[in-house]
Structure 1
Amino acid sequence: MSPSEKDQILKRIEEGSARLAEYAGLAPETLSKPYAPGKWTGVQVLFHLAQTDTVLLYRFFKTVAEPGSPIVPFDQDRWVAEPDAASRPVRLSVELSLGARQVLAHCLRSLSDEVLARSGRHPERGELSALGIAKIAADHTLHHLEQLEAIRAGQPWKPK
């Protein structure tokens, strides 16, 4: 792995965290609309990010500590439909996500390339290294931030 690859992932994690933090104080009404017809609301997107960042941090630790372990998938739509999703304050979802991302960024700075190369096996994605899991976390948040920005702007989101 090149130092620039790790640095690029770290930069995307930090960029995503800075942009995500802006949503902690937004009124729930602002985030009550879906990013496109029939899609998740902003509140649900933030809830999903909190769940996914937590899952990805767990997968990262599992891969680092137990190389070769299976990486268990989860059904994001069932998780986002969890009863707590509608009542959890947006701030809590954002804080959970930011905390997981801070820990992940710290690990990228402190762990050796050898440790970050350890991998596990996902049944749909195949072999994933710890660094690969960090990349998924970075890219996943940036993807959903586009949706949140569309909601905040009152525009439907269009994939790039």
Structure 2
Amino acid sequence: MLLSELPTSDYNPYYHTYITALGEVSLMDVLVNGEEEFLSLMEQIPEDRLSFFYAEGKWTLAEVLMHILDAERIFQYRALRFARNDKADLPGFDQDFFVPYSNAGVRTIPDLMAEYKAVRDSTITLFRSFDEDVLKRKGVASGSPMSVGAMGFIICGHQAHHLRIIKERYLV
């Protein structure tokens, strides 16, 4: 699926900037390339930088990385539910509630890299199993209709958004 094939009606407008910032890409390419980009960046992070936060009240770098992992898992789960034609409305999640319970402060770079690789490889495997009809299948999450394909692009756009923040604010 190409991003240009994803109607804006397939996702909540909140995600529009995440998705459109990806440019014209195919879903599978951006999932695979996003994994390589993320792991490459992680290799460059000094271990002592994980506890850094750029302003009072902002998350540490480790918390941001855990947030990326948590969000990918949640959107992957939503994609699975919608792909299997589950008609139950799925609730939202409060990212600010998740972060304090993520144990981010005790994580290491190799640990985070291994977990990320497992999560992204699982996402790639799941989305490879979807045909075009499945990618168009919709459900409701956080009160908005969303398609399976949109979930994949949201995963990628969300990660790209946070990688930009990491490069601009955490690794300067």
Uncovered stretches (5+) of structure 1, i.e. residues with no partner:
155-160
Secondary structure of 1:29's aligned partner: helix
Matches within 5 A, 1:107-118: 107-118=126-137
Cα 1:24/1:48, change in 2 over 3 Å:
farther
Q: 1:42 aligns with which of 38, 61, 69?
A: 61
How many Å apart are 1:152 and its aligned residue? 4.8
Quote the residue 1:128 is aligned against. Answer: 146
Cα deviation per residue 1:33-63 (whole Å; 9 max; x = unaligned)?
2244532121111011111111111111111
Cα deviation per residue 1:64-98 (whole Å; 9 max; x = unaligned)?
11332312211101101116222133433333333
- Counterpart CA distance in 2 for 1:67 and 1:10 is 23
Quote the residue 1:93 is aligned against. Answer: 112
- Counterpart CA distance in 1 for 2:127 and 2:153 is 11
More helix by share: 2
Quote the residue 2:28 is aligned against. Answer: 10
Aligned CA-pair RMSD: 2.3
- Counterpart CA distance in 1 for 2:138 and 2:116 is 23
Uncovered stretches (5+) of structure 2, i.e. residues with no partner:
6-24
Q: TM-score by structure 1 length?
A: 0.80
- Counterpart CA distance in 2 for 1:111 and 1:14 is 15
How many Å apart are 1:146 and its aligned residue? 0.7
The answer (yes or no) to whether the contact 1:53–1:97 under 8 Å persists in 2 is: no
Length, aligned pairs only: 151
